[in-house]
Structure 1
């Protein structure tokens, strides 16, 4: 769409935000996957970042924004009406991003035409005159809230609301574990485990000390657990399946494993290779579909961080709360079972198999781990010990790891995650 020269400055960013929301809510695309296409008309990086920020904040607050809109209309607007989208964008700016109200509304009115423009202006103005506010903690979408309350209890669902209220801190994984104290001091952060530093959010990650030199990479503390639980490699061979973008590959290579990293996506493998080059670490990379590919020989260890609903990373990617449906969770769980059973054939007798998902859905975690034990009598669970985990995280009674909202809350929380470790009987 060609920009109208009479449009207020900043309208292009709001138009890009509208495209992003449309891609997520109507087409079901991940926010990050839609970003390049939605912001293609924006030349400036800060304009692209602002469009992303508007869309992300709107998704964090969507049920509450819709409740405000519905409170100010005689009859509900259709869920996918452009007028509703424009109001969501204007309200999220004015009520959550501290954009002046006049700028928030002026820059969204060009996104709607005719009667809806008058409606948008009227509803927004009525809510501003009423001094409308958003709740301190965002409301989770009803299906998500019901599912998480049922699976994990009310306290966990409430903790999820607290986590999504603001973008999380940033976790860094260190190439040299022994330099943890040094890097925590240099970066002004805290450490929750050896080889980890947590810092406040920063707009310039690549400008921080140690980035260019490859001394660390960004990886949530929960996402670091699968590689941690494999220990030191001592030159042994490991298959890292579904490896890109490579945080676990880097940790494993730094721990002395001889890593073969497999992923279906060639572009994501390019990013992994760039991270290997930056850090000076090495791993063999293969672009292939693990449901069709097979190694020439079994490995000492296999790590499968399986494709999943990604509901555990909702605090950084709030779009998952609105895209993921029950049916998709069930279909993904079936795929994960098949992948895990296939990967189990590639472990040497006496070797280790680790299964992980960044999901808060037990069908994708505990149920898949149970299915392996039931189907493969040559495997046994290798319980995780307390000493192997960061303070504040503990294994469940069977020795698996489930990271839930509310854990590490005083330190800024962690992504939702599930990890199970198995030993193939020799």
Structure 2
């Protein structure tokens, strides 16, 4: 007779969402898998298909909240546990994080947060023995958690120490603190619309930003929002929409978008009338770009190749513009991708900087004399931004900087450097409502070939 296995009824409301959240947390924290890879595409968690839209949204928010507040959660739980978080049962660790995050920051009744976390550990063979511990610790968290948070500067705990040290050294202590605070808040949804921005701001219950993006606090499945299936807009952080504006009028011009997927900037260029060649080395990511273009009824030539080795096809050496949205540490996007702060390491910077220089050197060979090169990264690290461009210009006499004027970026002089480059920070664009504040951290420079 086969051994009996203890299983909880699957119909317990909310348990499946929390079980999948625990699996995905384990993937990030113990298996070093990116969050996006576990949520979408071929590597997505198979259980996501079984969740309702409401439970899927809950699961995503739960995982993001935990990763956004991981340092503070570690402090609170360490104060409530005599022997630390159990290391022999990952599900017990996940259950404690999930329960505490709901109690401290989410609109979930304390008793439900405790009960479902206990059920999580009871359903796992290795963790079941910790059910009583999880119950006791989370009940204490409901009583004492807020006071324990007040003991510390939570925004500092929730940033990887190596990152906070770097930001303090480069931007100063005050700005580093503001960045840390900004990435601790759940961000809004930013979209780029094809036309009639004011109308779509109204329909999506949002507002039009000075830069032209629409910002909304609507949650749930993006694909169900008005205008998505009709191809009237695409999701794109307001900062990510700025680099394309540095080209000026692109109508009728030949522009190559290197490292183009998932295609937000390609869509901007195509919508503005450019003849776009989108280049990306990943077949899967390029397939997503093509799907987006079909939905948006926009056209671009697509090439699957390593952009650092691409000869340029029939336009090689004669493009009017080159956009390099270079692979980088992506530390400027932590508020939207909170796993990045815990998965990235300082040692990742050097090889990415080397790749960025190869892309820049390749772009020079693709660009016609008088053509414009816009280089950008979604990184807060100077090696991938200001220093990368300085190194490139010192080695490439045919290229010069074309400073950006405040009028080109909606008058937002605070997002421009002294040299005339673009530098947005998560703490920029402040508002009274934190979720309506902020931008992704982006760097962009406009360079012209003599």
Give the deviation of 1:105 after TM superposition.
2.4
* Residue deviations 1:397-424 (CA, integer Å, cap 9, x gap): 1111111132111261111000011001
The structure-2 alpha-carbon separation of the partners of 1:80 and 1:226, relative to structure 1 and needing over 3 Å to count, comes to: farther
* Residue deviations 1:247-300 (CA, integer Å, cap 9, x gap): 101111111210000111222222222221222211101111113322132211
Question: Could you tell me which residue of structure 2 aligns to residue 30 of structure 1?
Answer: 34
* Residue deviations 1:151-207 (CA, integer Å, cap 9, x gap): 21222222223323332122221223xx33343344443222464222223324334
Question: Could you tell me which residue of structure 2 aligns to residue 17 of structure 1?
Answer: 21
Give the deviation of 1:357 after TM superposition.
0.5
* Residue deviations 1:330-369 (CA, integer Å, cap 9, x gap): 2212221222222222111111111000111111111111
Question: Could you tell me which residue of structure 1 aligns to residue 76 of structure 2?
Answer: 68
Out of 112-121 and 56-65, give the one that drifted further: 112-121
Question: Aligned pair count?
Answer: 422
2:334–2:340 contact (8 Å) kept in structure 1: yes
Match of 1:214 among 191, 210, 231: 231
The structure-2 alpha-carbon separation of the partners of 1:331 and 1:258, relative to structure 1 and needing over 3 Å to count, comes to: same
Give the deviation of 1:106 after TM superposition.
2.3
Question: Could you tell me which residue of structure 1 aligns to residue 62 of structure 2?
Answer: 54
Out of 67-76 and 206-215, give the one that drifted further: 206-215
Rounded to whole Å, the distance in 1 between the matches of 2:245 and 2:335 is 23
Any residues of structure 2 matched to 1:271-350 within 5 Å, and which?
271-296=288-313, 297-298=316-317, 299-350=319-370
Any residues of structure 2 matched to 1:344-363 within 5 Å, and which?
344-363=364-383
Out of 240-249 and 260-269, give the one that drifted further: 260-269
Question: Could you tell me which residue of structure 1 aligns to residue 144 of structure 2?
Answer: 130
Rounded to whole Å, the distance in 1 between the matches of 2:88 and 2:297 is 48
* Residue deviations 1:217-253 (CA, integer Å, cap 9, x gap): 1211110111111121231111001111111011111
Q: Structure 1, unaligned stretches of length 5 or more?
A: none
Rounded to whole Å, the distance in 2 between the matches of 1:398 and 1:80 is 53
Give the deviation of 1:49 after TM superposition.
2.8
2:146 paired with 1:140:
no
The structure-2 alpha-carbon separation of the partners of 1:359 and 1:202, relative to structure 1 and needing over 3 Å to count, comes to: same
Report the 3-state secondary structure (helix = DSSP H, G, I; strand = E; otherwise coil) of the residue aligned with 2:141: helix
2:52 paired with 1:45:
yes
Out of 155-164 and 382-391, give the one that drifted further: 155-164
2:440 paired with 1:415:
yes
Rounded to whole Å, the distance in 2 between the matches of 1:164 and 1:81 is 30
The structure-2 alpha-carbon separation of the partners of 1:124 and 1:209, relative to structure 1 and needing over 3 Å to count, comes to: closer
1:306–1:355 contact (8 Å) kept in structure 2: yes
* Residue deviations 1:69-92 (CA, integer Å, cap 9, x gap): 111222333678523332111101
Report the 3-state secondary structure (helix = DSSP H, G, I; strand = E; otherwise coil) of the residue aligned with 1:240: strand
TM-score by length of 1: 0.92
Rounded to whole Å, the distance in 2 between the matches of 1:80 and 1:114 is 12
Rounded to whole Å, the distance in 2 between the matches of 1:187 and 1:20 is 30
Question: Which has the larger share of helix?
Answer: 2
Match of 1:91 among 86, 100, 103: 100
Rounded to whole Å, the distance in 1 between the matches of 2:99 and 2:143 is 15
2:57–2:221 contact (8 Å) kept in structure 1: no
* Residue deviations 1:72-131 (CA, integer Å, cap 9, x gap): 222333678523332111101121112222222222233352543333223223333435
Aligned alpha-carbon RMSD (Å)? 2.3
Match of 2:241 among 216, 224, 249: 224
Rounded to whole Å, the distance in 2 between the matches of 1:55 and 1:417 is 25
TM-score by length of 2: 0.87
Rounded to whole Å, the distance in 2 between the matches of 1:185 and 1:14 is 34
